[in-house]
Amino acid sequence: MNYILFDGPFRNNLLPFTYTRPVADIRVGILTIREKWESYLGQVITTVTEDYLSDKFPMVEMETNIMINASYLPNAELVAMIQVLEENQAIFHNEQVIAFFSKEQQEIESFNDFEAIEYHGESVTIENNWDIFAKNETAIQDDFELLTDNRKSQPIPSTVNVVNAENIFIEPGAQLNFVTLNASSGPIYIGRDSEIMEGSIIRGPFALCDHAVVKMGAKIYGPTTIGPHCRVGGEVNNSVMFAYSNKGHDGFLGNSVIGEWCNLGADTNNSNLKNNYAEVRLWDYNTEGFAKTGLQFCGLMMGDHSKCGINTMFNTGTVVGVSANIFGSGFPRNFIPSFSWGGSSGFITYKTDKAFEVAEVVMARRHVKFTSQDADILQHVFELSQKYRKS
CATH (domain of 66) = 3.90.550.10
Q: Does one domain contain both 339 and 210?
A: yes
348: helix, coil or strand? strand
Q: Does one domain contain both 193 and 317?
A: yes
**pLDDT above 60: residue 230:** yes
Among 14-18, 114-118, 187-191, 210-214, where is mean pLDDT lowest?
Answer: 114-118
Last residue of one domain, picked from the residues 97, 126, 155: 126
C-beta of residue 222 within 8 angstroms of C-beta of residue 236: no
Last residue of one domain, picked from the residues 105, 126, 147: 126
| Bridge partners, 168 (sequence order) | 188
**pLDDT above 90: residue 175:** yes
Among 7-21, 42-56, 101-115, 270-284, where is mean pLDDT lowest?
Answer: 101-115
Q: Does one domain contain both 201 and 271?
A: yes
- Phi and psi (nearest 5°) for 358? -65, -45
Segment 123-152 mean pLDDT: 97
Segment 327-348 mean pLDDT: 96
- DSSP result, 141-163: HHHHHHHHTT--PPPPPTT-EEE
CA distance 302 to 252: 15
Q: Does one domain contain both 188 and 257?
A: yes
pLDDT value for 108: 66
pLDDT value for 103: 80
**pLDDT above 90: residue 210:** yes
CA distance 11 to 127: 8
**pLDDT above 90: residue 327:** yes
pLDDT value for 224: 98
Average pLDDT, the chain: 96
pLDDT value for 113: 83
Q: Does one domain contain both 185 and 107?
A: no
Q: Does one domain contain both 270 and 383?
A: yes
**pLDDT above 80: residue 350:** yes
- DSSP result, 246-309: EE-SSSEEES-EEEES-EE-TT-EE--B-TT-PPPEEEETTTTEEEE-S-SB--EEE-TT-EE-
Nearest to 340 by CA among 382, 281, 282, 284: 382
Integer Rg of the chain from CA: 21
Per the structure, the complete domain to which residue 196 belongs is given by 132-388
Q: Does one domain contain both 90 and 203?
A: no
Q: Does one domain contain both 183 and 257?
A: yes
**pLDDT tier at 112, thresholds 50, 70, 90:** confident
Segment 106-113 mean pLDDT: 72
- Comparison of pLDDT for 61 and 214, the residue scoring more: 214
Q: Does one domain contain both 201 and 318?
A: yes
pLDDT value for 341: 97
Segment 292-299 mean pLDDT: 96
pLDDT over 70 percentage in the chain: 98
- DSSP result, 77-135: HHHHHHHT--TTEEEEETTEEEEEEEETT---S--TTSEEEE--S---B--STTHHHHT
**pLDDT above 90: residue 328:** yes
**pLDDT tier at 105, thresholds 50, 70, 90:** low
Q: Does one domain contain both 102 and 167?
A: no
**pLDDT above 90: residue 100:** yes
CA distance 253 to 299: 8
CATH (domain of 171) = 2.160.10.10
**pLDDT tier at 329, thresholds 50, 70, 90:** very high
Q: Which residues contact 53 (CB under 8 A, 6 or more apart)?
A: 20, 21, 22, 377
pLDDT value for 107: 60
Segment 322-348 mean pLDDT: 96
Segment 74-79 mean pLDDT: 97
17: helix, coil or strand? helix
Q: What is the DSSP letter of 50?
A: -
Q: What is the DSSP letter of 244?
A: S
CA distance 249 to 236: 11
Domain count, the chain: 2
CA 2 → CA 89, 115, 177, 305, 357, distances in Å?
15, 20, 45, 33, 39
Q: Which residues of 320-346 are buried (b: 16+ CB within 10 A; e: fewer)?
A: bbbbbbbbeeeebebbbbbbbbbbeee
Last residue of one domain, picked from the residues 72, 102, 126: 126
C-beta of residue 297 within 8 angstroms of C-beta of residue 255: yes
pLDDT value for 391: 59
Nearest to 25 by CA among 283, 337, 362, 304: 304
Q: Does one domain contain both 99 and 203?
A: no
C-beta of residue 98 within 8 angstroms of C-beta of residue 69: yes
Q: Does one domain contain both 196 and 83?
A: no
